[in-house]
Structures are given as C-alpha cells and as structure tokens.
Amino acid sequence: MGKALAPNQSNRGGMSAFRQSVEAMIPALRRYARALARDADVADDLVQDTLVRALRSERLFLGGDVRSWLYTILTNLNKNRRRSLARRPQFMPLSENNPDASGTEAEGRDIEKALATLVEEQRSVLLLVMLEGLSYREVADIQGVPIGTVMSRLARARAHIKAALEGTRPALKRVK
C-alpha cells in the first residue's frame, strides 16, 4: 500500500503516481482519524486538511513512503487540534447509560471509553500499530520518537486498556 515513489511520476490517465497513492490512502486515513478523534465530523476535517496539505506540498515530497508521510501530516494536525482544544473549556455529556444495550454494544462502549482515557501519545501509537498495522519503525518515524519510546507507549497503552476492561487499575512501578 505505501510504495515508494519518485516525484512527478505519471501514468496514462494523467494523474500522477503520487496523487494515485494519496487517493488510495483515503480509507485508511479516515479509519485512523475516526479512531483518533472519536468524532466522525472532526475526523473528516482532519483527513481533508491532510489531503489538502499533501497535495499542496507534492513538489516537496522527495519520494519514499507516501503512507508514513500522510500519517505524519494527520498526526501533527491532530496534535495541533488538541492543543487548541486544551485552551477552551470542555463540556462533558450526561451519562449515556443504556441498560438495554446488547453485549457487543456495551463491549464496544467499554473499549471506546478505555481508549478515551489513554493519553494522546499512547492512543495514537496503539491505533497506528493495531488498527493500521504499521511497524514500530514506521510509527517512530511518524511521531518523531525513538523506537523504544513507541514500544513503551504501546506496552503502557495495552496494559491500560486491559486493566480498564477488567475493571482494575494498572500497577504503578516504584521508582527509586
């Protein structure tokens, strides 16, 4: 899916290979953005902004993995969005308890709530690895951190999700 391209390659249809690769990534970008933002409208805006930036910057793309480049753009746009939101007061919705929900719906809500309680860095690593199937190296490149940091964030995210679903709190390590 994320094949390396040389800039300005084109095909018979007139659309560059770069633009074709960007277009092919739209479903994966939408999936990642929806899981990351937890709001379909916000996710669609993130994807649109990602595509606009990518297409405007086509001449700056020097070849390589389009997929990682697009995920990097989307991740950075989401970080900027979250910083902006942190400056505004937040309103919490009233409880959405539905005792008639099926087990599958309830489990989905439990997972969604557990994901929502993760810190942003852990959630994005978990989503890129588990949902999008990226390698630790690709995630490290996208987030601009060492691979060990990715592994640590992923381990912590998994432990947190597991503990949240089991109704326990993850044990804190004692540091001397």
81 within 8 A of 33, measured Cβ to Cβ: no
Q: Are 176 and 115 in a shared domain?
A: yes
Give the mean model confidence (pLDDT) for residues 137-142. 92
Alpha-carbon distance 145 to 128, whole Å?
14
**Radius of gyration of the chain from Cα atoms?**
19
Q: Are 1 and 74 in a shared domain?
A: yes
In a domain, 94, yes or no: no
Give the mean model confidence (pLDDT) for residues 104-111. 67
Backbone angles phi, psi at 12, to 5 degrees: -65, -35
Count of domains observed in the chain: 2
pTM for the complete prediction? Answer: 0.60
In a domain, 42, yes or no: yes
Diameter of the chain measured on Cα atoms: 64
In a domain, 19, yes or no: yes
| Residue 4 reports pLDDT greater than 60 | no
Q: Which of 69-78, 105-114, 160-169 has the lowest mean pLDDT?
A: 105-114
Q: Are 74 and 143 in a shared domain?
A: no
In a domain, 129, yes or no: yes
In a domain, 113, yes or no: yes
Burial 4-35, CB ≥16 within 10 A → b, else e: ebeeeeeeeeeebbbbbbbeebeebbbebbbb
Q: Are 134 and 161 in a shared domain?
A: yes
Q: Are 8 and 68 in a shared domain?
A: yes
In which band, very low, low, confident or very high, does the pLDDT at 83 lie, cut at 50, 70 and 90? confident
Helix (H) or strand (E) holding 5: strand 4-5
Of 72, 44, 76, give the one whose Cα is nearest residue 134: 72
- The pLDDT score that the predictor gives to residue 88 is 62
Enclosing domain of residue 45:
1-89
